[in-house]
Amino acid sequence: MYLTYSLLTFAFFVTVSPYFGYQALRYRKYVSSFWQRLGYLPVSLNLDAESSIWIHAVSVGEVLTARALLPELRERYPSLRLFMSTTTMTGQRLARQNLQGLDGVFYFPFDLNFIVSRTLRLVKPKLFIMMETEIWPNLLRACHRNGVKTILVNGRISSRSYPRYCAIRPLFQKVLAHIDRFCMQGNESSRRLIALGADPARVTVTGTLKFDSLEPPAARPVLQTRDRVLRYFRISDRRHVVIAASTLRGEEEPVLRAFAKIKLATSDAFLIIAPRHPERFDEVVRMVDFAGFSVSRRSDLQIDAEPRVDVVVLDTIGELARLYQIATVVFVGGSLVDVGGHNILEPAIFGKPIVFGPWMQNFKEVAETFLAANAACQVHSGGELEETLQALLNDPVRRAGLGATARALVESNRG
C-alpha cells in the first residue's frame, strides 16, 4: 500500500514540477517555496541547533488555531525550538507576521521518502504536531521509525471526507497506527476515526481548539479600536457595513445580488468582500464592476479620503480580523457552495451577527452550537441570503441580540 501511495505521489510530483518551473522562471513565483518543499530549508532556521517541536498548519485557519498552543509549548519545553510549516502562501505569511514565539517557519515538504527524511534530519523534531486532519503517510512512517512522537490536534473527520477515507481504509489504518495521540474536536469525529482503525485508547475528545485560539478584542494590542478603524478607512459611523468574509467562486454573485437589494433600501450601505484566495482578487474586482457597483481594491484606497465606492475588495492579508469591528453584519463564505464552511468565531468574538450557508460540515459542531443558541443565522440559497441580510439591517435589536449571544458563546467555551 505504501509503495502504491509513493508511486502515485511521485507521479503527481513529476506532473506538477513543470508548472512550478514555468511559474518560477516567468513570474519568480514559488522559487523559495519549491526548494523548501524539496527539503532544502533556509539557513536562517539555525538548523545546527538542538532538537525541536514541529507544528504543521495547512493554511490561515490552522495557523490561527495553532496560536493557542504556542505559549503552553514554550513553557513546557523551553529547551526545544518551535518550528511551523504551512502549505499555502497565505498561511506562511500569516505565521511569519503574526505569530510570536516561533523559531522558524517553512513550507511543508512533498510527502516523498527521500524528501521527508531530509527534512526530519534538518529539523530534528522530538514531537510532530498536525493541526486538524493533515495525515501524510510517508512522513508519519518516517517519524515513527525515527522515534518522533506524533499528535493530531483539533482533529476532525467530516461527513464529506469520511467516505473517501473508508475507501482507502487498509492504508489509512496503517498510517493511524503511527500516530501516538488523537485529540479530536467532537464525539462524531472520534467515532469515525475509531471506525477507520485508530486505537480507541489513543483517541481523546478535547473539543475544538478554535475557541481558545481567539484573543478577546481587549487583549489585541495590534488591533485598533472600532472608531480608529472607521477613521482609518474614512467610513462614516452611520453607514451600514456588510462584510462577506472568505468567499469562494460561486458566492460573490449572490452576495452582490443581495447587496443590490440592500442599496435600494439603504443607499449608503457599504460592502467589503474578502476573497478566500489571493489569486482571485482580480476576478472579484471585475465581477463587482460588471455588476454595476463602483469598486476599489483595499490596497488602492486613499487613506486620507472616504472611499467613494460601493464595494471594497480586501486584497491584503491579515486585515480581516480587525475589520470585523466595523461590520454591521457578516456573511461567512465557503458555505453557500459545497466546500464545508469557514470559521465563524472571529466575527463572533466581536459580537457581530453572523450569517452562513448550508454547507458547514467542516465546522459542524460549532455551527450546530451557534444555531441551537440562536447565535447565528443559516440560509440555504442566494434568495434567503438577500432576505436575511435585509432583515438584519432593518432590525438593530435582533442584530444586537445575535451578536451578544455569539460573543457570550465564545467566552463560555474557552478552556
Report the alpha-carbon distance of residue 220 to residue 212 in Å, rounded: 14
Report the alpha-carbon distance of residue 232 to residue 303 in Å, rounded: 7
Q: Which of 62, 134, 252, 386 is catalytic?
A: 62
Identify whether the C-beta of residue 295 lies closer than 8 Å to the C-beta of residue 223.
no
Residue 368 is a catalytic residue: no
Nearest in space to 315 (alpha carbons), one of 293, 336, 285, 292: 285
Nearest in space to 84 (alpha carbons), one of 311, 99, 353: 99
Report the alpha-carbon distance of residue 111 to residue 20 in Å, rounded: 17
C-alpha cell at 384: 434567503
* Other Cβ atoms closer than 10 A to 29: 14
Burial (0-12, 13-18, 19+ Cβ within 10 Å), 25:
exposed
Pairing of strands 295-297, 311-313: parallel
* Other Cβ atoms closer than 10 A to 140: 24
Catalytic residues, by residue number, are 62
